[in-house]
């Protein structure tokens, strides 16, 4: 018996992701794949980010959830196009799901797409969907051991957002240890300490993201 199913699934996914990326490059659309465990603050970060960038870029959001539209409803209230993907049990978005969602958007009218992946620290890191970068959100109540427990997530991400730093006085989270462990896995990782509740650190994140998009747009011309 040949055990090749996982590899075949990933190879098929990678082919579709490459097709997605080619289409997005042709249209000049920059894509971020936002990943985290449930409750780390992906939607809150999206709300802050969309509000900060809406006057400068044309934005859209693809929301991935196992069920319901609660997060999509929050983002739609900001006045940006949102496509909901309900995975009906799957723990991540894949390239084919993303391809279908892209078909529901007018890519000629979009500069940036934010993909909010299903809350999970394992599978989303394994499946590319056609994004330019992956961004991980780690919240302080989760603990500083997550880089050691879920290394692929940190290796695959271009940026790490440590959210809920306003809770540092009340939780057992070693900020310096978390950063040290993350950078040991990925020395190029850009780390931002933020609080979506207070707004602390959001400006640094927005400046960095704006630069990434502008560099992409320059190279795409």
Q: What is the pLDDT of residues 69-102, one digit of tens each?
A: 888 899 999 999 999 988 766 788 999 999 999 9
Question: In the prediction, which pLDDT does 67 show?
Answer: 74
pTM (2 decimals)?
0.93
CATH class of the domain comprising 5-220: alpha beta
Q: What is the pLDDT of residues 149-182, one digit of tens each?
A: 999 999 999 999 999 999 999 999 999 999 999 9
Mean pLDDT score, 101-126: 94
Phi and psi torsions of 94, nearest 5°: -120, 180
What per-residue confidence (pLDDT) applies to 8? 73
- pLDDT(54) > 60: yes
**What are the strands of the beta sheet with 190-193, ordered from one edge?**
82-86, 59-65, 112-116, 30-36, 133-139, 159-163, 190-193
Q: Distance between the two ends of the chain, CA-based, in angstroms?
A: 50
Whether residue 7 has pLDDT greater than 80: no
- Percentage of the chain beyond pLDDT 70 is 95
Q: How far is CA 129 from the centre of its chain?
A: 11
| Span 130-155, average pLDDT | 97
């Amino acid at each position: 018996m040949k055990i090749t199913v996982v590899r075949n699934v990933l190879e098929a996914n990678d082919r579709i992701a490459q097709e997605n990326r080619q289409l997005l490059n042709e249209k000049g659309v920059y894509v971020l794949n936002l990943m985290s465990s449930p409750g780390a603050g992906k939607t809150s970060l999206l709300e802050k980010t969309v509000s900060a960038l809406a006057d400068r870029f044309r934005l859209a959001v693809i929301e991935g959830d196992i069920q319901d539209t609660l997060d999509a409803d929050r983002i739609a209230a900001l006045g940006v196009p949102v496509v909901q993907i309900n995975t009906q049990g799957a723990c991540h978005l894949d390239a084919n799901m993303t391809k279908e969602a892209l078909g529901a958007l007018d890519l000629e009218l979009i500069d940036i797409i934010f993909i909010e992946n299903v809350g999970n620290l394992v599978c989303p890191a394994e499946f590319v969907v056609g994004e330019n970068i992956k961004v991980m959100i780690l919240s302080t109540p989760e603990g500083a051991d997550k880089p050691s427990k879920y290394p692929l997530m940190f290796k695959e991400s271009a940026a790490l957002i440590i959210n809920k730093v306003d809770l540092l006085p009340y939780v057992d989270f070693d900020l310096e240890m978390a950063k040290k462990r993350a950078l040991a896995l990925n020395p190029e990782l850009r780390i931002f300490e933020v609080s979506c509740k207070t707004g602390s650190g959001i400006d640094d994140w927005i400046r960095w993201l704006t630069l990434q998009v502008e560099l992409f747009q320059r190279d795409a011309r």
